[in-house]
């Protein structure tokens, strides 16, 4: 076997190893990208909902509590919880 044949066999083996590494990396990239997108969606949704609820609670606590508007909002919230409790229990 000549030196050129040995180099060709070594190059072929290296190329096959590199191709296997690339295949393994690509196989891992799909699930990793999905986890990253899922985590980004979760964090974004959490931040938006927290901001909305925090703002609503802040406004509700800054309004006078003993009036018809606040009593109506409270009673509506109780009725909504009662309705949902019946559906999901």
Q: What percent of the chain has pLDDT over 70?
A: 82
Q: What string of pLDDT tens digits covers the 89 residues of the chain?
A: 554 455 556 666 776 777 777 777 777 777 888 888 999 999 999 999 999 999 988 888 888 889 998 899 889 999 999 998 877 65
pLDDT at 4: 47
Write down the pLDDT at residue 9: 62
pLDDT for the residue numbered 23: 79
- The residue extents of the domains of the chain are 3-64
Alpha-carbon gap, residue 65 to 8, rounded angstroms: 85
Task: Name the token pair of 77.
Answer: 């919230």
Cα distance between residue 59 and residue 37, in whole Å = 33
């Amino acid at each position: 076997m000549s030196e050129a044949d040995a180099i060709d066999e070594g190059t072929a083996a290296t190329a096959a190893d590199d191709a296997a590494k690339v295949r393994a990396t690509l196989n891992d990239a799909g699930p990793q990208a999905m986890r990253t997108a899922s985590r980004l969606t979760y964090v974004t949704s959490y931040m938006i909902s927290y901001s909305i609820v925090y703002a609503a609670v802040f406004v509700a606590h800054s309004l006078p509590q003993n009036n018809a508007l606040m009593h109506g909002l409270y009673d509506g919230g109780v009725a909504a919880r009662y309705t949902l409790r019946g559906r999901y229990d």
